[in-house]
């Protein structure tokens, strides 16, 4: 039964993981944990500071630690960072402790959403020297097989209101019991 398992949301930045996670948590009467927030909490640094001081590898170590801590706790809804699925140990932990739904959208939609979210742009540094759109395309190309591997289902979130998407995730979550 799913009542003792976590509900994970994965997908690229801008797919609405945090927003949809909060809606699901309210519906399921659970806590919603944004993994990026937890990384900042346990590291006592902003994500930007972690990247500046130790690069992406340092951030990924903090992210894995945050995921271990959260997955050890009470069942909750967890909005994963977009790259949390890059490490095999994270994918395994996600699989062992819950169900994961992949929120997916095309690169153009993601770019629009990222530009519309001021905190995302200031919080997360660029990962490559490419243009923003090309970086998103490149990251999606690399990560899509891993999102697929880590998830129990994919939802196209290019259109639809967050409430509609949350309702569909909930339907699938309840249907998997």
| Domains of the chain as residue ranges with CATH | 2-175 (3.40.50.300)
* Cβ 162 vs Cβ 26: under 8 Å: no
Contacts (Cβ under 8 Å, ≥6 apart) of 63: 35, 39, 81, 83, 84, 87, 90
Model confidence band, residue 164 (pLDDT cutoffs 50, 70, 90):
very high
Q: Helix axis angle, 107-116 relative to 132-150, nearest 10°?
A: 110
pLDDT at 42: 97
pLDDT at 158: 93
* DSSP letter assigned to residue 57: H
Strand 6-10, strand 98-104: pairing? parallel
- Kind and range of the H or E element at 100? strand 98-104
pLDDT tens-digit map of 64-102: 999 999 999 999 999 999 999 999 999 999 999 999 999
Q: The dihedral of CA 97, 4, 30, 176: what is its sign?
A: positive
Residue from 92, 73, 88 nearest 35 by CA: 73
Q: In the predicted model, is pLDDT for residue 139 greater than 60?
A: yes
């Amino acid at each position: 039964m799913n009542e003792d398992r976590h509900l994970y949301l994965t997908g690229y930045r801008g797919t609405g993981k945090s927003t949809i996670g909060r809606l699901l948590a309210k519906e399921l009467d659970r806590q919603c944990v944004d993994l990026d927030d937890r990384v900042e909490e346990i590291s006592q640094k902003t994500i930007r500071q972690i990247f500046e001081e130790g690069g992406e590898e340092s951030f990924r170590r903090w992210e894995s630690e945050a995921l271990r801590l959260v997955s050890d706790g009470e069942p909750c809804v967890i909005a994963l960072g977009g790259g949390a699925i890059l490490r095999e140990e994270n994918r395994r932990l996600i699989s062992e402790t819950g169900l994961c739904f992949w929120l997916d959208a095309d690169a153009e939609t993601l770019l629009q959403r990222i530009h519309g979210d001021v905190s995302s742009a200031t919080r997360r540094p660029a990962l490559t020297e490419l243009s923003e759109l090309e970086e998103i395309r490149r990251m999606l190309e690399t990560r899509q097989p891993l999102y697929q591997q880590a998830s129990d289902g994919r939802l196209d979130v290019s259109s639809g209101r967050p409430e509609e998407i949350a309702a569909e995730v909930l339907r699938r979550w309840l249907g998997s019991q």
